[in-house]
Amino acid sequence: MIYIPDAIPVSEDLNLRAARLDDAAELFSLVNKNRMFLRKHLPWLDDTNSVSDETDFIHQQSEKANRMEAMLLLVEYRNEIVGTLSINRIDHGNRTAWIGYWLDEDQCGNGLMTKSAGALIDVLLNGCAFHRIVIEAGVDNLPSRAIPERLGFRKEGVSIEREWLYDHWIDIVQYAITEREWNTGG
Ligand SMILES: CC(C)(COP(=O)(O)OP(=O)(O)OC[C@H]1O[C@@H](n2cnc3c(N)ncnc32)[C@H](O)[C@@H]1OP(=O)(O)O)[C@@H](O)C(=O)NCCC(=O)NCCS
């Protein structure tokens, strides 16, 4: 059975930790502040309209974490929640994890997510015996694509009209890296 730690230090003032139910109000307030920014690329904004919705989401994710199916990690910078970095799916048979992320618009442009994703990927591949990490992003979502590209992922391909985004289909580009590639640089 794969075990994933529920707290991962990234740097002196940047940490990842599993979301708790009592984070719901702070997390919802951040989502609400960034609603229009996030809605350009993420499909769930119209289903997140209250602290109660956020509480339900954290509860579902905690249950999935207990079953090791997924994990919702909060990105904390200087002791405040600035975004999330999630393990969205785990394929235990092939030791593969799919990760996704979003950040407070005001905190973008400083490398927080690249550093956070790098720390999580290192723990998954070197501490938790995962073999392969996958990141998927909208073809037009260049800031999101830049993260796997900066971290040395391979572009594996594009799925046409793979995700419904409110009122249209978007194409998704898939990036991946194996434990060998991560540790040897290729
Ligand atoms: C995707 C998203 C998290 C990327 O945020 P970001 O701030 O660009 O990513 P990072 O935090 O890694 O920061 C990278 C930026 O900081 C800069 N930077 C500064 N110091 C850095 C460092 N030490 N390491 C890496 N980058 C650094 C980079 O040059 C880059 O800036 P640039 O875009 O001007 O070149 C953000 O755009 C977002 O939340 N978007 C909406 C939700 C979304 O699309 N999620 C993904 C769905 S697939």
- Tell me if the pTM is above 0.85: yes
The fold of the 7-184 domain, in CATH, is Aminopeptidase (3.40.630)
- Distance from residue 93's CA to the centre of ligand 1 (Å): 32
- Phi and psi angles of residue 20, each rounded to the nearest 5 degrees, phi first: -120, 160
Q: Is the CB–ligand 1 distance for residue 100 below 6 Å?
A: yes
Q: Is the CB–ligand 1 distance for residue 102 below 6 Å?
A: yes
The model's pLDDT over 74-90, given as tens digits with 9 standing for 90+, comes to 999 999 999 999 999 99
Asked if pLDDT for residue 1 goes beyond 80, the answer is: no
What is the structure's pLDDT at 185? 86
| E strand or H helix at 11 | strand 7-11
Residue 153 is given by DSSP the state P
Instruction: Summarize the confidence of residues 109-120 as an average pLDDT.
Output: 98
Q: Is the CB–ligand 1 distance for residue 175 below 6 Å?
A: no
Ligand 1 mutation target, pool 10, 144, 166, most atoms within 8 A of CB: 144
Domain ranges of the chain: 7-184
Q: How far apart are CA 16 and CA 7, in angstroms?
A: 6
Tokens at residue 109, please? Answer: 């442009």
Q: How far apart are CA 19 and CA 75, in angstroms?
A: 9
Helices (H), the chain: 24-33, 35-39, 51-66, 112-122, 142-150, 179-184
The model's pLDDT over 10-66, given as tens digits with 9 standing for 90+, comes to 999 999 999 999 999 999 999 999 999 999 999 999 999 999 999 999 999 999 999
Q: How far apart are CA 180 and CA 121, in angstroms?
A: 13
Take atom 24 of ligand 1 and give the residue whose Cα is closest. 111
What is the structure's pLDDT at 75? 98
Judged by DSSP in three states, 171 sits in strand
Contact yes or no for 107/82 (Cβ under 8 A): yes
Q: Is the CB–ligand 1 distance for residue 111 below 6 Å?
A: yes
Letter string b/e over residues 150-175, b meaning 16 or more CB atoms within 10 A of that residue's CB: ebebeeeeeeeeeeeeeeeebebbbb
The model's pLDDT over 126-159, given as tens digits with 9 standing for 90+, comes to 999 999 999 999 999 999 999 999 999 999 999 9
CA 83 to chain centre: 9
Q: How far apart are CA 176 and CA 178, in angstroms?
A: 7
CA 178 to chain centre: 18
Q: Is the CB–ligand 1 distance for residue 141 below 6 Å?
A: yes
